[in-house]
Amino acid sequence: MLQLTQARDGRMHDKRQLEEAGLVEYIADEVATEGDLGFQELQNKCDNVHLSHGDR
**pTM, whole model, 2 decimals?**
0.65
Q: How far apart are CA 32 and CA 7, in angstroms?
A: 24
What's the pLDDT score for residue 45? Answer: 86
Q: Give the whole-angstrom CA distance, residue 9 versus residue 22.
A: 19
pLDDT, position 46: 87
pLDDT given at position 53: 75
**Tell me, what's the pLDDT at 18?**
85
Q: Which helix (H) or strand (E) element contains residue 18?
A: helix 14-20
Binned average pLDDT, 10 residues per bin, the chain of 56 residues: 69 84 87 87 88 72
Give the pLDDT score at 15.
85
The pLDDT of residue 1: 54
